[in-house]
Amino acid sequence: MRIGALALQGGWAAHLAAVRALGHTGVPVRTADELAACDGLILPGGESTTHLRLIERFALREALDAFMATDRPVLATCAGLILSAREVLGPSQPSFGWLDVTVTRNAWGRQVHSFEAVADGTDLALMFIRAPRITRVGPGVEITHTFEGEPVAVRQGRFFGMAFHPELTGDRRLHAAAFPV
């Protein structure tokens, strides 16, 4: 598959390395045409307020909405999850609403409190970097991983959202789940 990573800001390069390691073609996405050519999309971590500004500046909002209206798979991490959420709190900010969850920003701790953990009942390592908490999950959203009983990874059809950074651990299972080889 040809997997794009939104490459306006943040941790897109490590995601491309992850999907390439799985055998996919990984491409940075900065224009509507580049996006339309992809079979799947990654919305990386970074700073969601900066992402919002750059999506407007690069005039990508319509193209992203159009992409999400197809059934192509999406993997959204951390700031990407915040952009995708139906509702953002702590403080509230605009978002695109592709994924029916509410998130509270920076609620797993600030940068100095970034930490590594393991998902409940699994050996999946979780890297949290000023991570959002998923504080509400809509009826069509499945919780795939929890930490201390709280959802940290969810799935709504082919849309995978996670509060942590799977691209930083060397574990490719979540990328493989989103983008089957």
Binder of ligand GLN out of 8, 63, 78, 154 (CB under 6 A): 78
Catalytic annotation on 175? Answer: no
| CA 42 to each of CA 12, 33, 113, 147, 167: distance values in angstroms, whole numbers, following the listed order | 8, 16, 25, 23, 11
Q: Do 69 and 56 contact (CB within 8 A), yes or no?
A: no
User: In a 3-state reduction of DSSP, which class is residue 127?
Assistant: strand
Window of 17-25, 43-51, 57-65, 66-74 that interacts with ligand GLN by CB under 6 A: 43-51
CA dihedral 161, 167, 172, 177 (to 10 degrees): 20
- Contact flag: residue 63 with ligand GLN (CB under 6 A): no
Catalytic choice (51, 78, 145, 175): 78
From the list 47, 120, 150, 171, which residue makes contact with ligand GLN (rule: CB under 6 A)? 47
Binding residues vs ligand GLN (CB under 6 A): 45-48, 78-79, 82, 105-106, 129-130
- Which of the residues are catalytic? 78, 165, 167
